Amino acid sequence: MNCKKVILELSTYLDGALDATVRIDLEQHLARCTDCRLVVDTTRKTIQIFCNSEPVPLPEDVRNRLHTALLERFRRNSKTT
């Protein structure tokens, strides 16, 4: 496997969905290629950092407006049925 092929398979590899034969081939390449190893490692960390990032809080006023709009819709709906 060459570096270009590693990049093509990178996402599938990081998702743990790579076919076993291809994975072994890729990991053998990683064992001897520092550049690819760094790309794999930093891409994995990129995903991890986003995965672990704090969720955007839902502001109370935004939530209140949503529920007011929904209640209004429920009320209109009950009148028509």
Partner 1 sequence: MVRCQISPVAPPGALLEANGRGIDFLSLTKEGEHAGKTGRRLYNKPARNACGLYLLALTKEGEPGRNGSGLYLEPTRKKTILSATDPKPLASTVVRDDEAQLVSAAKAGDAAAFEELVNRYERKIFRLGMNITQNREDAEDVMQEAFLKSYKNLDRFQGDSRFYTWLVRIAVNEALMKLRKRRPNQFSLDEPLNEDDDSVFREIQDWGPSPEQKFAQTELNEILNEVIGELDPIFRVVFLLRDVENVSTEETAQILGISVAAVKSRLLRARLKLRQKLNKYFRRSETQ
Binding-site ranges for partner 1 (CB under 8 A): 3-4, 7-8, 10-12, 14-17, 35, 38-39, 41-59, 62-63, 65-67, 69-70, 73-74, 77-78, 81
CB of 63 to partner 1, least distance (A): 7
CB of 26 to partner 1, least distance (A): 14
To the nearest 10 degrees (0 to 180), the angle between helices 34-51 and 20-32 is 110
CA dist 79 and 81 (Å) reads: 6
Q: Give the other-Cβ count within 10 Å of 13's Cβ.
A: 19
Nearer to partner 1, 28 or 68 (CB): 68
